A and B are shown apart, each in its own frame.
Chain A
């Protein structure tokens, strides 16, 4: 079971307190009607699904209830960092053995 650091509680808590919420930094368009069918399809369904570093959303659902973002390695499952929902994607230099 992973330990996850909630950036709002500033505490490390077991995975069972959290819920996964999909890829991060996919903002809902301000006016979806301006998107054509393909653009809207991409917004709805197309995700990066990387092997390695993944920016994703979690919710401290059985804690403070806040949604936050995380950078996690999908190969090792390990969290690199977590950060508040409003913050930009942190720049992370990947180590050599991480693709």
Chain B
């Protein structure tokens, strides 16, 4: 073991060594160490290179606010995670870690040339550098930015871990288990309220773990903590969640918690999820998130070895690690003095305390004297030296007129600019933050939710205040949740009252234009960048932030926001609140996608709807395609066939004999009631009053804006009953729209709507032999053309099963759609397929269905329409009941825009080269020789190879297309320009003679 660890000190288990690697070197730490504490125990400060300038960086903090020490972690095969903060990563046996953002090595990094080319990367460098010339964007700038940007390296393999999620309700949720949170949980827990207490760290205790001088009720802080946690653990109504981060605070006390379950384990029990997302609905919330120490802003404040004084104190007291052999303390706040005293008492060397404040309280001075620490009050630090680790700092009196600069050798610089209350979760709720001039901090004002903020997060610094406020809030929260909450009194002794001042950059006698005084360590933003942004006209912190990227890194500016804001306010010459505070957004700390996805991945990501016949298609080797949530048989390839060959064969079979098609996905709505016909008249464009029972009609549905929303064949089963079909993807939308009108506009109509999509299996038989196949199996329906003509519907039986039989065609051939209760779908399909062998029956999929319907000029709503086509645009004007006084969308059809002659209209397109199948979505122009950017006048909506015609066919929308029959339009493609003639949309059998063939 190295001499950085103090034997027996801290809360790590000195009896349980843990071995891990960092950049290939094997190190030893103890059970209970974070990667950061273990590296520091081994004297390793240099842990990474910065994002923009590739400057060597060390460990700044001891918690989740860490901006520098981001590492790549390998937990095992496929378990690589970049950008993990070394300060929160618990080490486990065999853990493998690596530093980031450098090549070829951490100590010698080529990218550090960025540091020399500082001007190129100053504030707004993206905006200034990559503006011109435009042609450079694709080839030069974008690859450069992509190469330079991004922290670490993305994992390359699918995540092998599982992630869990859980919903839970509680009475009092306490976020943060420092003294304030624990006191709150005790008060609330003792009342019997259901309490959840969580903390992002592995161990509960917060500042009690690091700050060890004060006593509670006559016990040491650690003894009190043990007692308190023992009591809480014994309460059945209290749930304790360590390693759990409250990532977001949403409406009505809905809080997202991400619990890390396995990352700290060397051996993960089989089947254990890596993380669990808790979705908590709490009656009351107590926020006890504490405070984050502010760095000081001075030239060279980012050198490895420069760290927050509070972090150094944590490493000492909690982990038993001396962060250096000779420490220089630089501060504007009393708390750093306590860190210095603890280090000196542990026989660490503190070379000096540099405090910007000329007047230091006498008891601190006396203590420093007694420990033999030199005090430089009213002094500042103006720079540091050392390439990969701080070697010295230059200090001088803050008074610019005074002389006497000194260089002080040190291997660690402990700094403190005071403390920033963590108001992130409070801010998520849109709670109002108030600027407190005295504290120099934004503190929670009025709460927008049923919540309370306590302790340092509320600006109530110190152990006594934290305990008192926490105990009170826990009791009040329990009472508000309906319990009899009672507060408790805690007697705190030996606590030092702490004060401090907040400054912007530390005063310096050096040229500030050359200073690299970092504000945002992770995004490499300096004080100079922020002042430059203000000089260039950015006055609001939201703009300064985006221009400089201050606070926009993965740490969300936990250590940089307030310093950046103070500097910006100074540069603007306005008070801090006038410049504003940027909005904090969830998640509080970076959160894995896995935790958000939870169980909803792979097969469970989205429902796959399957028809009763799906299994048959799968067994037959069908290729499938997704259509909304359904998976549909796309085509049925035979041995050696590609899609093109299969579709050509299927098409030919339908037109020559008979094809069988699973149309079960069609949306179906049963519309029933005395006013059913009136309701249909109002909803659809077509007239329904005179449609006789037993007959069908093509129905067209518009939105109130006059644009086509849906279509489908509708059968009238009885005077008061319609069997409506919709597009496959439109069923739920159409039913919602119908319910909307029925419930809110026409509640007087006696009509009931029922979704029957999944009640019916639908088998389409299409082709000249369809009737011959069907007739022997059907009972109770006369299938003769006189009795059962095209667009007839009847109820009867097929193979003894009740059926609604439709005589409809979406192919242009004689066609029937056999509706049977879904549970009989597979059996009837198999029977039809077996008997159909006599006719060479051919199963076909959606692709053949699309080709056949296109050959006949039938549109598909949603493919050939896009929400901007009127019935006239789609050549469906014939489907409008002209005599009807009103229907949904009717009034819009006469709006001036709807009557324009140059509207995009749906037409047929025949390519001049018959072998060329157009690309769906391709843009259309009238003049192919016009300069780029060309005026686009439409696009191709459907395009297929037609086996019947032995040529390509297409539909497209073209401006004024209906009056341009026979004209040639052009389709510019990347490699050539294609041409096509505008035609009508019916390519096959315009006389419809085949419907009765």
A residues lining the B interface (CB < 8 Å): 1-3, 19, 21, 27-28, 31-33, 35, 37, 40-41, 44, 57, 59, 61, 65-67, 76-78, 85-86
Contact = CB atoms under 8 A, between A and B. Distances in A.
B895 A37 contact: yes
Contacts of B430: 76
Interface string B698-721: 000000110000000000000000
Interface residues of B, number: 25
**By CB atoms of chain A within 10 A, which of B281, B744, B745, B895 has the most?**
B744
Given A61-B736, A65-B739, A67-B740, A3 B891 contact: no
A96 to B, nearest CB: 12
A23 B740 CA distance: 13
Main secondary structure of the interface of B (DSSP, over half): mixed
A75 to B, nearest CB: 8
A57 B251 contact: no
A44 B888 CA distance: 12
Nearest to A61: B736
Given A41-B895, A86-B747, A78 B740 contact: no
Nearest to B890: A32
Given A1-B250, A1-B251, A67-B739, A40 B891 contact: yes
Contacts of A85: 743-744, 747
B740 A35 contact: no
B756 interface: no
Interface string B226-257: 00000000000000000000000011101000
Contacts of A27: 745
A37 B896 contact: yes
B252 A35 contact: no
A98 B885 CA distance: 45
B407 interface: no
B170 interface: no
Given A21-B740, A57-B744, A40 B251 contact: no
A78 B741 CA distance: 27
A41 B890 CA distance: 13
11 contacts: A1-B250, A27-B745, A31-B886, A33-B891, A40-B891, A59-B736, A67-B739, A76-B430, A76-B448, A85-B747, A86-B747
Contacts of A19: 736
Contacts of A44: 704-705, 892
A77 to B, nearest CB: 6
A61 B736 CA distance: 8
Nearest to B253: A3
Contacts of A59: 736, 739-740
A77 B891 contact: no
Given A1-B250, A2-B252, A40-B892, A67 B743 contact: yes
Contacts of A40: 891-892, 895
A37 B704 CA distance: 14
A9 B328 CA distance: 67
B389 to A, nearest CB: 48
Contact of B744 (A1, A67, A78): A67
List 3 A-B pairs, minimum CB-CB distance, nearest first: A32-B891, A67-B743, A28-B745
**By CB atoms of chain B within 10 A, which of A32, A41, A76 has the most?**
A32
A76 B279 CA distance: 21
Interface in B739-758: 739-741, 743-745, 747
Contacts of A31: 885-886
B485 to A, nearest CB: 24
A3 B895 contact: no
